[in-house]
Amino acid sequence: MSQQTQKLRLNALIALVVGSMIGGGIFSLPQNIAEHAAGGAVLIGWGITAVGMLALAFVFQTLANRKPELDSGVYAYAKAGFGDYMGFSSAWGYWISAWMGNVGYFVLLFSTLGYFVPVFGQGNTPIAIGCASLLLWGVHFLVLRGIKEAAFINQITTVAKIVPIVMFIVLTGVAFKADIFTLDFWGTETPSLGSVMDQVRNMMLVTVFVFIGIEGASVYSGRAEKRSDVGKATVIGFLGVLALLVLVNVLSLGIMTQPELAKLQNPSMAGVLKHVVGEWGAILISIGLAISLLGALLSWALLCAEILFATAKDNTMPAFLKKENANHVPVNALWLTNSMIQIFLLITLVSAGTYTSLIYLASSMILVPYLWSAAYAVLLCIKGETYSQASRSRFKDLLVGLIALIYAMWLLYAAGPKYLLLSALLYAPGVFFFAQAKREQREPLFVAAERAIFGAVVVAALAAAYGLYAGELTL
């Protein structure tokens, strides 16, 4: 099969963006948000998220057009702007975020199936993990058949999973009650929520998780049939998913009160629709979630392997990760990714970590890649690189880049010290892969500034390890 036959068109790129973002997060959104915020704070939080994520989407669109030679965006932008170690760390964090999100998806999928087959329990029983493992390797061998084939299947599952979400929006829209939505609008009658600012901050990691995948088309820029389609797919996919997410969240607050939503079992969309139409509503959402998760698992299997493959081609990861099979699938990168997922699936048998903990950790891991991408866009504007002196778009792009950068920094603050420390614990071991790549290129491991940054990561990782050992830090 020739390389050209593996090129992805606009519809496939949009499906990768939408399929990556719409996984399990939207189906658990009513409970996940209500656990942290009341209606007023929810609207503020979505307003901040919409502006910040739209700015980030425009950043990826601008960089895709202005730096067409930089394939696999999230990683490549960090390296081009801030050096090899920052580029490596961006790729490493993105990769871990991606496969850890998949672990959470597997747990949620079999927890949902437990609605019909009680033996699956909350998704982490021995039988559930055994079945999840079989599904994992089924997806693995499907992806090995080829990128384009897997992307086509992803398009089908993307369409299939949107149908029950649209039905949910229509049915809850009809049943929406303004008096329920405005009840305790600012959460003052629920002291545990904290101030409005606390509520907004605490819901931020949930909103980040449901938007992870916004960069999906950028990761596949090297396989796009038309380079201009990368930016289009990013913005189109983002706007469509934003509309679905906000409607699902806001309409749910007009069906059940915030305390009622916060107590729902996930997938909480099933509980909300059951409240409106009865048992068949819960069954519809459960089936939709199963289809959605299968599609998301496929999307993220593709993305995980692609980010390792791209960094290996650029000599930032060890050379063994750039090996492709006859179908142009990065085979070693795929094996490494799914082996890590398998290990963590087994860990869930004995871990007290929940689906929510996994998605929070996955979200915190991707904050650094997003931060460096925004910072690179700002750097290009300041230097004037790729811009003519009289370019009007330079100021506009600088403003958008600054908004995206401030938003990324706000997210780091919102994540709080716990997940930042846990992230450092996962970032630190990556140095062994980085060192191997540098050894293969016969280059020094770090330059001076990189050595200081790595030192800070090690200190944070040791603090996290001690916190886990002492019981002061938990998943």
What is the per-residue pLDDT for 173?
95
Adjacent-strand bridge partners of 8: 224
Q: What string of H, E and C letters represents the secondary structure of 218-242?
A: HHCHHHECCCHHHHHHHHHHHHHHH
Domain tally, the chain? 1
Report the 10 Å Cβ neighbour count for 384: 11
CA 100 to chain centre: 10
Residue 450 in domain: no
Q: Enumerate residue ranges in the chain where pLDDT < 70.
A: 1-6, 19-20, 23-24, 71-73, 146-155, 157-158, 213, 215-223, 227, 299, 351-356, 389-390, 475
- The CA angle 220-11-16, to the nearest 5 degrees, is 45
What is the per-residue pLDDT for 327?
79
Residue 464 in domain: no
Contact yes or no for 45/200 (Cβ under 8 A):
yes
Residue 470 in domain: no
Range of the domain at 168: 4-416
What is residue 324's three-state secondary structure? strand
> For residue 133, what is the domain's CATH number?
1.20.1740.10
What is the per-residue pLDDT for 249?
95
Residue 436 in domain: no
Residue 332 in domain: yes
pLDDT per position as a tens digit, 250-298: 999 999 999 999 999 878 899 999 999 999 998 888 888 887 777 777 7
Structure tokens that stand for 115 in this block: 């609605």
DSSP H helices in 384-447: 393-427, 431-440
What is the per-residue pLDDT for 4?
43
> CA nearest 322: which of 336, 340, 310, 334?
310
Write down the pTM of the prediction: 0.82
